[in-house]
């Protein structure tokens, strides 16, 4: 009898595994998640933040550029944004007020609450326009901003922000483990401040737009997490395209999270899905958070949510985790 039970159990386990494999490989996505969304990567951004408006972006913006360096890259890149080579570009508005108002409208349409990154004055102005939608973030680039660690600590103590994001030191060539940023990591660790770090690559041709920009792999955060094991960090853009390093860091440091910011357009959809699916297959679906990185293109919010909901390899529960539950846990929100 025991052998019969054991045999039946083995058959049942095989059927469950086979069904799970079929579900993972199915071309039919799970039903869309339509509940509240948390976007951990929203910007209080000016309309001209990426060049003279109006500007457009296409899905897969870094693909098939056919660039000849006889033309300076900034000129070429701006021309692409003015004359997008795709059937359905996402256009940005022409004024700062329209960026704010269209972002708010997109968030209300999709029931989104977001971590708002930016200068304190801009974050305050956007929050005044829609108090219930935004969690106060604090952008930081220590070369550009000239803000001392004590200033950041005082701002946090006085309720100026809840999340230190986006930290964009990479654009100035200051990587995560640079000693110049050590005092800021110490402040975040001491006060339990979540940190959103720009990591991976930036826009196409970043070093020609920002001369000090350097690529940054997820391994750059390892010494920080070793020194501050209680620190809450999320790596923006999911460390794209450094998959092996990203998986190693997520495996070794269960306190580490990622967001999906800008990947809905930065890579062709097939490449984005391949990257996201590999993270999910590796078992990290519980630490992927939705980020739109909408900048001056409010349409990236809807595009980003749709990209998650249309992913053929995600179950409904995984979509819910990515679009809401993981961020609620990471940020310790009481919904």
How buried is 27 (Cβ within 10 angstroms: 0-12 exposed, 13-18 middle, 19+ buried)? Answer: exposed
- Rounded Cα distance, 31 and 34, in Å: 9
Q: Quick check: 116 and 135 in contact, CB under 8 A?
A: yes
Q: Quick check: 315 and 29 in contact, CB under 8 A?
A: no
Q: Quick check: 39 and 107 in contact, CB under 8 A?
A: yes
* pLDDT for the residue numbered 19: 38
* pLDDT for the residue numbered 28: 64
User: DSSP states of 12-27 as a string?
Assistant: HHHHHHHHHHHHHH-S
- Rounded Cα distance, 109 and 67, in Å: 38
pTM: 0.91
**CATH class of residue range 35-330:** alpha beta
Helix (H) or strand (E) holding 73: helix 73-82
For residue 163, the cross-strand partners are 137
- Give the contacts of 207 (CB within 8 A, at least 6 positions apart): 213, 214
The string of pLDDT tens digits covering residues 255-279 is 999 999 999 999 999 999 999 999 9
Per-residue pLDDT of the chain (335 residues; tens, 9 = 90+): 444 334 444 433 443 343 344 444 445 668 999 999 999 999 999 999 999 999 999 999 888 899 999 999 999 999 999 999 899 999 999 999 999 999 999 999 999 999 999 999 999 999 999 999 999 999 999 999 989 999 999 999 999 999 999 999 999 999 999 999 999 999 999 999 999 999 999 999 999 999 999 999 999 999 999 999 999 999 999 999 999 999 999 999 999 999 999 999 999 999 999 999 999 999 999 999 999 999 999 999 999 999 999 999 999 999 999 999 999 999 999 75
The 3-state DSSP composition of the chain as helix, strand, coil percent (nearest 5) reads: 50, 15, 40
- Rounded Cα distance, 234 and 195, in Å: 6
* pLDDT for the residue numbered 7: 45
For residue 310, the cross-strand partners are none
- Rounded Cα distance, 272 and 277, in Å: 8
> Is residue 39 classed as helix, strand or coil in its secondary structure?
strand
Q: Quick check: 289 and 333 in contact, CB under 8 A?
A: no
* pLDDT for the residue numbered 5: 38
Q: Quick check: 259 and 238 in contact, CB under 8 A?
A: yes
* pLDDT for the residue numbered 48: 96
């Amino acid at each position: 009898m025991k052998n019969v039970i054991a045999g039946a159990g083995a058959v049942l386990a095989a059927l469950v595994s086979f069904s799970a494999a079929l579900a993972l490989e199915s071309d039919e996505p799970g039903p869309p998640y339509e509940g509240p969304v948390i976007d951990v990567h929203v910007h209080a951004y000016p309309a001209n933040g990426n060049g003279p408006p109006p500007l457009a972006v296409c899905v897969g913006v870094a693909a098939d550029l056919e660039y000849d360096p006889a033309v300076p890259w900034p000129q070429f890149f701006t021309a692409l944004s003015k004359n997008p080579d795709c059937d359905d570009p996402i256009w940005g508005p022409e004024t700062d007020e329209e960026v704010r108002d269209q972002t708010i409208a997109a968030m209300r349409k999709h029931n989104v609450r977001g971590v708002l990154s930016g200068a304190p004055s801009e974050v305050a102005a956007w929050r005044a326009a829609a108090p219930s939608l935004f969690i106060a973030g604090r952008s930081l680039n220590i070369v550009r901003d000239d803000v001392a660690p004590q200033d950041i600590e005082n701002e946090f103590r006085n309720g100026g922000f809840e999340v230190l994001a986006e930290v964009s030191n990479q654009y100035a060539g200051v990587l995560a483990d640079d000693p110049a940023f050590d005092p800021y990591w110490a402040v975040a660790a001491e006060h339990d401040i979540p940190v959103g770090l720009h990591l991976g690559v930036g826009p196409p041709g970043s070093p020609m737009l920002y001369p000090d920009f350097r690529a940054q792999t997820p391994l750059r955060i390892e010494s920080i997490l070793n020194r501050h094991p209680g620190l809450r960090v999320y790596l923006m853009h999911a460390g794209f395209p450094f998959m092996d390093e990203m998986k190693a860091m997520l495996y070794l440091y269960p306190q580490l999270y990622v967001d999906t910011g800008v990947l809905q357009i930065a890579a062709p959809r097939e490449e984005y899905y391949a990257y996201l699916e590999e993270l999910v297959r590796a078992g990290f679906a519980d630490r992927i958070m939705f980020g739109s990185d909408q900048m001056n293109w409010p349409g990236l919010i809807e595009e980003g949510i749709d990209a998650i909901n249309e992913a053929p390899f995600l179950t409904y529960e995984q979509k819910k985790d990515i679009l809401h539950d993981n961020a609620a846990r990471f940020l310790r929100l009481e919904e």
